[in-house]
Structure 1
């Protein structure tokens, strides 16, 4: 099967959005202004103050005739109430669930792997949002010390077209969908700025390693600086090798990771990588103000990326992910300013002498965890073939109504 490689698209404008305080108002305002269509994909949607505001703006838009498709992940969003769902579907919002996740003994979520981890919004085919922010109150500062630090980007210009196509491909077949939905359209999105960009995705069919490949290529080409801020950091050998080689040839390579982890195993895994990275000259900083959830990077003066993909086995080997890669000096400089502020104000630098002592127990556990995580992507390919399905919630009810398996080639 021929793989369609992403390509650079000119004429775009980007706005960096930090945390829910900037992201949610921008998205909700765009939905309120929508005239024709809203497409949303998200890993997590909770029935909290953020999720309820999203529901309300979607209902208002649907009632004035806007076509709305909302796709959530069955593992990441398992607990929406029937009232919440019924409010959406009764107004005409089409709600779809990617791989609904049954609970073992009514309590424990299973089917952890191969999730829809993308976070995208497309409004009227001319405005898009891509990033790592879910629809939950823990992306707002008033949530408390566990509020997440994260980023997204608002996009205007021709890059919106491939984002729109990707969102449409996820949806159930229109031929089998019983409710009104406009036929797909082909349109030219007008230029909005001077930035080049591309949409890079990861799936289990045509694009199994595109995001990691672009990271490696950018680091390999770096001449002055690399900054990577990633919440769940445990990449493959080749990406680690590119980071070490860049540092050894004199590039200032900086890694920002969780210092206040939301999952202890994540921090434990990342710290297993510290000795080799530090020895090569990589500067490591742990962000300690609150849990880091961002997935961003920049290289030299022009290249930067924001998206949903962590640099860990799940994102790089199993999940459906989407990142935007941007070539623009102004945006790169703005992102660098944000990263430098994190380092200066809220990070602790990891020093070589600060590593924990190598006790026998720690060495044994570290060795087992390291090699398990390191080989996980290869083992993942041995899992049974996966045909993910998207199930659509029947109108006026909270019941799931299976529509079709998701065909990655669509």
Structure 2
């Protein structure tokens, strides 16, 4: 447990961060103000206008002798130019790729570095689901992909930096042992770092969701991009519904993975039978992974409610127990819901027919098979 003189009642020490300029302005400022070390771990880093902006800031920091360690996923950042890698390395930036394709890691293609973490000087950190790419920033004509992060300052940044060090340097402590979840109790807020890496026996995010859903008394609000939960989460939601808990799901009305969205649509009938309220965000691609439960418990990070995050990827979330933070986040999510399309039994019957139902069923089956092939099957073969 971490204790310090910092107070999370100070809004500058624990802040909800939105995709768009809010996130990238903060990221740029963190890089510009760094004095000693920066750790960046990203699934996706694109060489577009937003990527160039961040690369320029990193090169300037490196010129000030700031040590920079950047770890990108070998699949998510597959298009990251080799010329830019050389350019960054020439400025003194340390960069490598996690589980690059056509390597010994190819067999575990489902085990990706899906975290989005930035830590500077073990004092300030950004953790969430936002990648470095223009689509998360948006433009004058296009809304940014809807997503969230948390900015943290103070002692909590130290274990986050150590986590990045362990992953970057392939420390055995990361590879073979569970890193104990870290609590930071400051002011009214209890903040916890949660990890998921099923191959290494880390299931903290998935278990945290299930526990909080099962214990819910009044209300559950979930932002669920690529929403295809496993049987344990479905059962937890069903139980909460039977206990008369109000459940609201904010789902993708527009997705960069159409087949996954179709697979999610296949679940609508079952979810509506559980009296779960469904809302589709269609103003931009929904990429957020977050929840607020009973006006006290919140989680934000990279973890999707699907088997790929549960049993494949390396994920990091921040869990926050704070009525103040939850009230603020809940208010924002209600504003999002007001802009969504509500999916009811009547509207679902109107917009679906036998053909769309068949397409949704096929998409669901194919998606589940892919998840099985890239997660569970390699795990069983690995241990046998």
With normalisation by structure 1, the TM-score equals: 0.81
Match of 1:351 in 2: 344
State the 1:190 CA deviation.
9.8
Q: Aligned pair in 2 of structure 1 residues 128, 221: CA closer, same or farther (>3 Å)?
A: same
State the 1:316 CA deviation.
1.5
Q: Deviations over 1:322-381 (max 9, x none)?
A: 10000111111111111111111x200001122258866555554454455457666532
Matched, 1:92 2:92: yes
Specify every segment of 5 or more residues in structure 1 that has no aligned partner in the other structure, as ranges.
1-6, 104-108, 175-187, 388-410
Match of 2:228 in 1: 234
Measure the CA separation in 2 of the matches of 1:206 and 1:307: 19
Structure 2 counterpart of 1:136, from 133, 136, 153: 133
State the 1:147 CA deviation.
3.4
Measure the CA separation in 2 of the matches of 1:80 and 1:209: 30
Q: Aligned pair in 2 of structure 1 residues 367, 202: CA closer, same or farther (>3 Å)?
A: same
Measure the CA separation in 2 of the matches of 1:86 and 1:311: 36
State the 1:39 CA deviation.
0.3
State the 1:87 CA deviation.
2.2
Measure the CA separation in 2 of the matches of 1:92 and 1:292: 36
Measure the CA separation in 1 of the matches of 2:379 and 2:185: 44
State the 1:157 CA deviation.
2.8
Match of 2:56 in 1: 56
- 1:33-44 correspondence runs (5 A): 33-44=33-44
Which is further off, 377-386 or 225-234?
A: 377-386
Match of 1:331 in 2: 325
Q: Deviations over 1:135-186 (max 9, x none)?
A: 1000122074473111111011332222112101112369xxxxxxxxxxxx
Match of 2:376 in 1: 381
Measure the CA separation in 2 of the matches of 1:300 and 1:189: 20
Q: For 1:381, what is the secondary structure of its paired residue?
A: helix
Cα RMSD of the aligned pairs, angstroms, is: 2.8
State the 1:293 CA deviation.
0.6
Task: Name which structure has the greater RCO, CA cutoff 8 Å, separation 6+.
Answer: 1
Measure the CA separation in 1 of the matches of 2:205 and 2:299: 10
Q: Aligned pair in 2 of structure 1 residues 256, 68: CA closer, same or farther (>3 Å)?
A: same
Specify every segment of 5 or more residues in structure 2 that has no aligned partner in the other structure, as ranges.
172-181
Which is further off, 78-87 or 238-247?
A: 78-87
Measure the CA separation in 2 of the matches of 1:385 and 1:378: 11
Q: Aligned pair in 2 of structure 1 residues 368, 8: CA closer, same or farther (>3 Å)?
A: farther
Q: Aligned pair in 2 of structure 1 residues 370, 47: CA closer, same or farther (>3 Å)?
A: closer
State the 1:14 CA deviation.
1.2
- 1:1-400 correspondence runs (5 A): 12=8, 13-102=13-102, 112-142=109-139, 144-145=141-142, 147-172=144-169, 193-344=187-338, 346-356=339-349, 365-371=359-365, 373-374=367-368, 380-383=375-378
Measure the CA separation in 2 of the matches of 1:385 and 1:98: 22
Measure the CA separation in 2 of the matches of 1:191 and 1:29: 26
Which is further off, 355-364 or 310-319?
A: 355-364
Asked whether the equivalents of residues 28 and 54 of structure 2 are also in contact (C-alpha less than 8 Å), the reply is yes
Measure the CA separation in 1 of the matches of 2:294 and 2:328: 13
With normalisation by structure 2, the TM-score equals: 0.86
Query: How many aligned residue pairs are there?
Result: 362
